[in-house]
Amino acid sequence: MTAAAQSSQTPHRAARAEVHQASGSRLGDSHPHQEGAPDLRLVLPALATWGAAVLVLGAPGSRAALATAACLAAAVAVLAARRLRPRAAAGVAAAALLCAGASAGAAGLSTAELHRGPVPALAARQRHAAVEVTLTGDPHETRARVRGSALAAPSVVAEADAVRVTADGATTAVRTPVLVIASSRAGAPGGDGGQDAWLRLLPSTGLTLDARLAPPVRPDDRIAAVVYTDGPPQITARPSLVQRIAGSLRAGLRRSADELGPDARSLIPGFVVGDTSGIPPELNEAFEATDLTHLLAVSGSNLTLVLTLLIGPPALAVRAERRGLAARLGLPLRLTALLGGALTIGFVVLCRPDPSVLRAAVCGLITLLAIGTGRRRSLLPALAAAVIILILYDPWLARSYGFVLSVLATTGLLTVGPRWSEALQRRRVPAHVAEALAAAASAQVFCAPVIAVLAAHISLVAVPCNLLAELAVTPATLLGFGALVTAPLSMTVARGFAWAAGWPADWVAAVARTGGSLPGAALAWPGGWTGGVLLAAATAAALFLARRILRRPWACAAVALLLVVVVLQPAPLTRIVTGWPPPGWRLAVCDVGQGDALVLNSGDGDGTAVVIDTGPEPTLADHCLRSLGVTDIPLLVLTHFFSP
């Protein structure tokens, strides 16, 4: 080793020695490495991969080919210039261009699949055909709608791949993604017009459909056609063994929670495997109003809980004091990494390959690879690598809002979350409380603009509701996993786990219902990308002002009091500010979206009123009744049905 190299390592050795001495242990710190600045080299390639996929998806093939060639040529030029004058920035730029070129090519090929074969042509003419499909997702039920004076039966929707099409006497083998919409047929076998039979189907099941093909609603969608059919499904191929096992485990979890209350019975499958089919509409609306819907979407937190049981806290996974079942059983690191990889793959199959699940799984596999090889990796490069791998594998993830929210929430937790936690701890906030506050606030700040794009509102109770819910989500999820694993062995034991998980699940439901029922829980905000950009700018300005307000205790107290008043909206104060409701009101007319709802005050001053008509959206009627102070409706009169 040269003298220069020895001298360069001397400061690092001195730093390690200081850490060893400060550890307080006779053996010193088992891992005295000091974390430096975050490694951001993969961030630009990840953004380039994402941006290229967004721009090329749905575009003509010529544009995709041109974009791919341009990116590759630019990368070659940058690499050639780097040989003449080596620079680290040039390497990052070349990597970004190569990733963008690969992403553009993958997106172009994925788009081309939608235009090959007879399916797009048949859909354009809305022709009937015999279609053989293989389900690629779980069927789910749509909401029932009112048509005229009758309630239209809900449909079942499922993603699938068309594998064979027969039309005009010709049969063609294809591989085209489609969306199957199955409507119920009166008197069909299988119960409820065959709808229950559709909902019991598993991914990888083969079906033969007598269907009508139609073009997708959006031209840039990832499907080539919509396949309309009715009646019960005609099964031609059973699902794979892996899917049957996963379906059996999910069914066992649902059976174990059958005897619980309605909230716990519907939430436990959602916490564990993301099964939200049993959640009632009013509870789902409460979760949306409080921005708690991410708890029902299986993501990295669920996988982290599973892996923590095996390897212990990830920060200790490669240290001498590592914990978890693997450490207690004396398993070596490489075997631990292999078991963790198998657990991760099983987790994806069990919880379905949704965007957030895939992102979490790839990040977990990269971390496990680092554990198996004995090399530590920062989580931010792991997240960037996961984005690159997943978008190259499935370019349509680049336009998935679920994937965007998952990546943004993780980015917030990895970047500003630790800084905010340290800042709170410097102000004498307990460590655990500071970490929880920082995690909830950072995820909310990063995700709020995208949520505004989708929901056109801002939740003013999201952070406190998330903090209160997080207290119960972890035990509910872990106990739910216990019910999932033990259900095939003993349903009695599984019901015990489910009963224990029901208590924290009911707590989360109570938090959502209470927070969502507050008058100022949600603030109306412009929707679409315009609203998202405005909210991002407003958030940046609020954070800039917050750094100055935090230095003044009285200003902090005033802001907190103002927020409480806006959320609670006490009736006397609201009446003074807005003049609503007027004192001594007798009859009020509420705008409920389609027509009006009439509210007749009983005059007793006890919040009792007669309501005539409600409109199609319960949220609008509920908001009006709450603003009037109505808490009891002894008589509800419906004069007519409403139509969509």
**Is 545 a member of any domain?**
no
Q: Both 136 and 225 in a single domain?
A: yes
> Is 575's pLDDT higher than 70?
no
Total domains in the fold of the chain: 4
Q: Binning pLDDT at 50, 70 and 90, where does residue 351 land? A: confident
State how far the Cα of 371 lies from the Cα of 368, in Å rounded to an integer.
Answer: 5
**Is 30 a member of any domain?**
yes
Quick one: how far is CA 35 from the chain centroid?
30
Please say which residue of 239, 268, 293 terminates a domain. 239
- Please report, for residues 570, 604, 623, 629, the alpha-carbon distance to residue 575 in angstroms, rounded to integers and kept in the order given: 9, 19, 15, 11
Instruction: Give me the phi and psi of 518, to 5 degrees please.
Output: -65, 140
**Is 135 a member of any domain?**
yes
Structure tokens at 492: 């009695």
Q: Identify the residue with better confidence: 27 or 286.
A: 286
**Is 559 a member of any domain?**
no
**Is 269 a member of any domain?**
no
Query: So what's the pLDDT on residue 324?
Result: 67
**Is 57 a member of any domain?**
yes
pLDDT, tens only, 304-335: 777 777 776 555 555 544 566 777 777 777 78
Tell me which residue range forms the domain holding 223: 118-239
Question: Dihedral of the CA atoms 630, 636, 642, 644 (nearest 10)?
Answer: 50
Q: Both 12 and 125 in a single domain?
A: no
pLDDT, tens only, 500-549: 999 999 999 999 999 888 877 878 788 888 888 898 898 888 888 887 77
Residue 215 belongs to a domain with what CATH number? 2.40.50.140
Please say which residue of 86, 112, 138 terminates a domain. 112
> What is the mean predicted confidence (pLDDT) over 20-45?
57
Cis? peptide before 11, omega within 30° of 0: no
**pTM higher than the cut 0.85:** no
**In 3D, which of 316, 323, 379, 367 has the Cα closest to residue 343?**
367
Please say which residue of 56, 88, 112 terminates a domain. 112
Q: Both 233 and 155 in a single domain?
A: yes
DSSP symbols for 235-262:
EEEPPPHHHHHHHHHHHHHHHHTTTS-H
State how far the Cα of 569 lies from the Cα of 226, in Å rounded to an integer.
Answer: 47
Long-range contacts of 528-533 (CB under 8 A, 24+ apart): 528/453, 528/456, 529/453, 531/452, 531/453, 531/456, 532/449, 532/450, 532/452, 532/453, 533/449
**Is 607 a member of any domain?**
yes
Q: Both 96 and 206 in a single domain?
A: no
> What is the mean predicted confidence (pLDDT) over 384-389?
89
Query: So what's the pLDDT on residue 507?
Result: 95
Residue carrying structure tokens 């991410």: 294
Q: Both 17 and 49 in a single domain?
A: no
Query: So what's the pLDDT on residue 569?
Result: 76
State how far the Cα of 392 lies from the Cα of 299, in Å rounded to an integer.
Answer: 20
Q: Both 225 and 151 in a single domain?
A: yes
Q: Both 123 and 103 in a single domain?
A: no
Query: So what's the pLDDT on residue 217?
Result: 83
Q: Identify the residue with better confidence: 411 or 154.
A: 411
Instruction: Give me the phi and psi of 109, to 5 degrees please.
Output: -65, -40
> What is the mean predicted confidence (pLDDT) over 163-186?
86
SS3 at position 613: coil
**Cβ–Cβ under 8 Å, residues 637 and 611:** yes
pLDDT, tens only, 298-311: 666 667 777 777 77
